[in-house]
Amino acid sequence: MKNKLFYKNYAIRGEQRPHLTNINIENSEVLDIFGINNENIAFFEKNLPIEIFQKGNQLTVRGEKKDINLLRNAITKTINEKKIIKKMILLTQCRRILKCKF
**Alpha carbon of 63 to those of 49, 73, 85, 86: distances in Å?**
7, 15, 32, 33
State the pLDDT at residue 1.
43
**pTM value?**
0.70
Please report the domains of the chain, with CATH numbers, ordered by start residue: 18-101 (3.30.1370.10)
Say which DSSP state 49 is in: S
Answer yes or no: are the C-beta atoms of 57 and 27 closer than 8 Å: yes
Q: Please say if the pLDDT value at position 4 is more than 80.
A: no
State the pLDDT at residue 28.
87
Q: Which of 15-19, 48-52, 80-84 has the lowest mean pLDDT?
A: 15-19
State the pLDDT at residue 63.
94
How many helices, marked H, and strands, marked E, lie in the chain?
4, 3
